[in-house]
Amino acid sequence: MAKYNDDFVDISSSADVNKLYGSERRSAPKKRKNKGLGRRIFVLVLSLIMLLVGSGLVFYYNVLDQMNFKELEPLAPAPTSNTSETTTYSVQSGGATLLSSDNVLNILLFGQDTPASAEDHGRSDTTILLSIDNVNKKLKLTSFQRDTYVSIPGYGDNKINSAFTFGGERLSIDTIETNFGIKVDKYATVDFSSFRQVIEALGGVDIELTLEEIKYINAQIDVNDQTDVTSFLQYDETKEKQMMHLDGYQALWYARDRGEESLGGNPDYSFSGDDWDRTSRQRNLIQTIIKNLREDASLTELVSIANKIGPLVTTNLKKGDITFLVSNMMTYIGYDMEEMSLPTLGHWRYGTTNDGQSVIVIDDWDGVRKDVAKFIYEDSVSGGSSTSSSAAAQ
């Protein structure tokens, strides 16, 4: 059975990271500030602002009370029949060290196909790591390809999205930490039904789509008989790209678009694409929403949106965490945005399992772990260069 532990290198306060990625010595870390005092100041300022705009503290704490808080339980033992000896991948071959920083908050976002129950965790259709980098003033989105073949603690080797099916958020986080060496601080989960409601709470989303993406959304609406709950997108056939306003149903089809051959058995509904395209669309959707909020939303509107979205999200972010994030929200949405998809170029190949499943096989785990470490922590990690396809959003 794979072994793993909770040891991690805090790269904001330790030079030990150089043992993992290079021998170059870094300057001495700065003294930590009194974070407790800083948080109290932020909460005080936020409270004053909200009182001035008429929202009030009672309303704000009502927002927090509506969040679906779920702490992660200790990892349950895996069924004996599914347990096998396997390799534990980590930051450094033979080790199980995780990289972490006080200046970077890593929140794992799950898109769940069905609401979880006591008997069924559902499946994770989307897994994206949101990293709030307060050193470089960036929001970073890292997608994990769901067919990536990884070591799942207690379950042997399988596709990465199987971890959510086997053990929900807890096992998914342990799997990502074990394989990619990045400490996950918090998580947030939204199922498909709630995702649609989140988009509606935002008033929809304005986004530029290709002609094929527009036709794909319309085809899904047609095949799934959804004209009673949404409508077909109206478009100009002569334009390859055009701005569209998407409601919740339309936005969900965009986020799930990875192409389809003869959708619904209709040969006219054939679209190119794969899971790489789909994860790119998911990151683009998140970036577009943040950009729209940056341009149009005030603090009052952001709090109102949070009030609508709160009940739709399951998370282990506590009241203090959410208060701190909301108090800095206007700052965060102004950060540049970058993106990455894992595994990175040159480190993987397509393969087939013994039972015939098509999977993404990583041949160079150290290269992938170094790429994601440098993408999230940048100059705090020395040695090598990232091969990410990141690009700051304009």
**Digit-coded pLDDT (tens) for 138-156:** 999 999 999 999 999 999 9
Question: pLDDT tens for residues 231-269?
Answer: 999 999 999 999 999 999 999 999 999 999 999 999 999
Report how far residue 11's alpha carbon sits from residue 100's, in angstroms, rounded to the nearest whole number: 6
Q: Is 40 exposed, middle or buried (0-12, 13-18, 19+ CB in 10 A)?
A: exposed
Q: Is the pLDDT of residue 33 over 70?
A: no
* C-alpha atoms less than 13 angstroms from C-alpha of 277 in its C-beta half-sphere: 14
Report how far residue 167's alpha carbon sits from residue 72's, in angstroms, rounded to the nearest whole number: 11
Residue 327 has a pLDDT of 78
Question: pLDDT tens for residues 357-383?
Answer: 999 999 999 999 999 999 999 988 865
Question: pLDDT tens for residues 263-307?
Answer: 999 999 999 999 999 999 999 999 999 999 888 888 778 778 878
Report how far residue 196's alpha carbon sits from residue 211's, in angstroms, rounded to the nearest whole number: 22
- Distance of alpha carbon 295 from its chain centroid, rounded? 22
Residue 69 has a pLDDT of 73
Question: pLDDT tens for residues 189-209?
Answer: 999 888 999 999 999 999 999
Task: Compare 263 and 34 and report the one with higher pLDDT.
Answer: 263
Residue 107 has a pLDDT of 95
- Written as one letter, the residue type at 147 is D
Residue 116 token pair:
């979880």
Domains and their CATH numbers in the chain:
8-192+312-380 (3.30.420.590), 195-282 (no CATH)
Confidence of residue 325 (pLDDT cuts 50, 70, 90): confident
